[in-house]
A and B are shown apart, each in its own frame.
Chain A
């Protein structure tokens, strides 16, 4: 098999995934409505996983967690380094956007300050919550371990 086949496949899959998670134009021939359904499903599941990895975030933000996360996700694809990084990036986004009331903002900043540094030996504070992440993923994807999404072990 030639590497050309890999490259053609890579380009096709990347253009689809990019439309789904990075807001690039929908590739020709796809059903736009379905792309939107799939895109929302991916973002919703990402919000679920981040909520499991960093349960303090939905706790601090309450009902505002989900809309805030989906707004963030629409502009920021999942970091290749994983969900811990995603949770931190989301917190940074919320802090800098100034979209939460002062008491929640203070707690969020404290949460972020505690975790933003390099991962200490033995794992970060977030990691404490990531040893087992079980979440509905539908589509044949069952329980999701953090390492599924991350290169950081």
Chain B
């Protein structure tokens, strides 16, 4: 597993100190748009000096949107990948804005990741956008499945999630960042069984895995990243690990930060799931 990342945590300024003092952190992920390449936070620089891998995680490209990706945003992401000497960069399969010239209506910003319809049109557009992004980035790109509160109507779901991801990987060589909390979210909110999705998606393309906590309210799962990781999410991680040994796993926490010991316990629970996985699970590797 020489290309493996190991177990990591999402770097946030609120927990920077805790992360630096936590044993067994192999790598961190940082939100790409929140850092400035010339002025990295000191804590992040110290981690880099210690040889900890830092992966920039973008949220603003909107590669699943109808427009071609903005060259300036792509250049900014590339610049961050270089500044961090990152082995890869990650983004999302989502749209974050709409309107504009293609529609003859005003531009609208979502301020959030929204699900793309799983149509042939959307897949064709996404594949072209991904190729444009790959050409602009100095390192491989991996894309994350998002958590959705809503579903597109049946007419817009020509492909299953697994089939959509499989074709995306086959056509572009892009790698996948599988968020098991998001698979759980889509189970609760859209009735999509994570086991089916895991059976269909190209596991060998997995670059790493996200794990996060959320909360269910009125039958809707909110992927809050403000709650502890719950057993159903760890169960999806176990399902994934029964099929493949992921090169990396990362815990995400964004709000209501608990004491460092609680974060360490969550990481220990994640490591426990990885350790309990059958040795027969094959290792994911590059598919480029």
Contact B103 A37 (CB under 8 A): no
CB-based nearest A residue for B105: A14
Taking a contact as CB atoms closer than 8 A, the residue among A34, A37, A136 that contacts B224 in the complex is: A136
Residue B286 interfacial (CB < 8 Å): no
In the bound complex, what is the Cα–Cα distance between A131 and B41 (angstroms)? 12
Residue B275 interfacial (CB < 8 Å): no
A residues engaging B (CB < 8 A)?
Answer: 1, 5-14, 16-18, 20-22, 27-31, 34-35, 37-38, 41-42, 45-46, 49, 77-80, 131-145, 147-149
Chain B residues within 8 Å of A80, by CB: 106-109
**With A9-B125, A139-B148 already in contact, 9 other A-B pairs whose C-beta atoms are closer than 8 Å:** A8-B121, A14-B105, A34-B151, A42-B110, A80-B106, A133-B34, A137-B111, A140-B144, A144-B33
CB-based nearest A residue for B218: A37
Nearest CB of B to A31, in Å: 7
Chain A residues within 8 Å of B59, by CB: 137, 141-142, 144, 148
Nearest CB of A to B95, in Å: 5
Contact A5 B125 (CB under 8 A): yes
Contact A14 B103 (CB under 8 A): yes
Residue B261 interfacial (CB < 8 Å): no
Chain A residues within 8 Å of B34, by CB: 132-134, 143-145
Q: Which of B65, B105, B127 has the most chain A CB within a 10 Å cutoff?
A: B105
Main secondary structure of the interface of B (DSSP, over half): mixed
In the bound complex, what is the Cα–Cα distance between A21 and B150 (angstroms)? 14
Q: Given A41-B112, A77-B108, does the pair A136, B225 have CB atoms closer than 8 Å?
A: yes
Chain B residues within 8 Å of A7, by CB: 66, 102-103
Chain A residues within 8 Å of B108, by CB: 14, 17-18, 21-22, 77-78, 80
B85-136 at interface with A (beta carbon < 8 Å): 92, 94-100, 102-103, 105-114, 116-117, 119-122, 124-125, 127-128
Chain B residues within 8 Å of A30, by CB: 150, 152-153
How many residue pairs link A and B with beta carbons under 8 A? The number is: 191
Contact A140 B155 (CB under 8 A): no
Chain B residues within 8 Å of A21, by CB: 108-110
Chain A residues within 8 Å of B92, by CB: 140-141
Cβ-closest 9 pairs across A and B: A29-B153, A10-B66, A145-B33, A136-B255, A10-B102, A14-B98, A5-B121, A34-B150, A148-B60
Contact B150 A10 (CB under 8 A): no
In the bound complex, what is the Cα–Cα distance between A12 and B102 (angstroms)? 11
Q: Given A6-B67, A7-B102, A149-B111, does the pair A139, B223 have CB atoms closer than 8 Å?
A: yes
Taking a contact as CB atoms closer than 8 A, the residue among A37, A45, A140, A147 that contacts B182 in the complex is: A140
Q: Which of A12, A14, A28, A140 has the most chain B CB within a 10 Å cutoff?
A: A140
Q: List 17 A-B contacts (CB under 8 A).
A: A8-B121, A9-B121, A10-B66, A13-B117, A18-B108, A21-B109, A34-B150, A35-B150, A136-B254, A139-B113, A139-B148, A140-B179, A141-B92, A142-B31, A143-B31, A147-B33, A149-B109
- Interface segment among B9-17, B18-26, B46-54: the answer is B9-17
Chain A residues within 8 Å of B105, by CB: 14, 18
B residues engaging A (CB < 8 A)?
Answer: 10, 12-14, 31, 33-34, 36, 57, 59-60, 65-67, 76, 92, 94-100, 102-103, 105-114, 116-117, 119-122, 124-125, 127-128, 144, 146-156, 179, 182, 189, 210, 214, 220, 222-226, 252, 254-255
Contact B252 A142 (CB under 8 A): yes
Nearest CB of B to A55, in Å: 16
CB-based nearest A residue for B156: A12
Nearest CB of B to A20, in Å: 7
Contact A17 B98 (CB under 8 A): yes
CB-based nearest B residue for A136: B255
Contact B224 A138 (CB under 8 A): yes
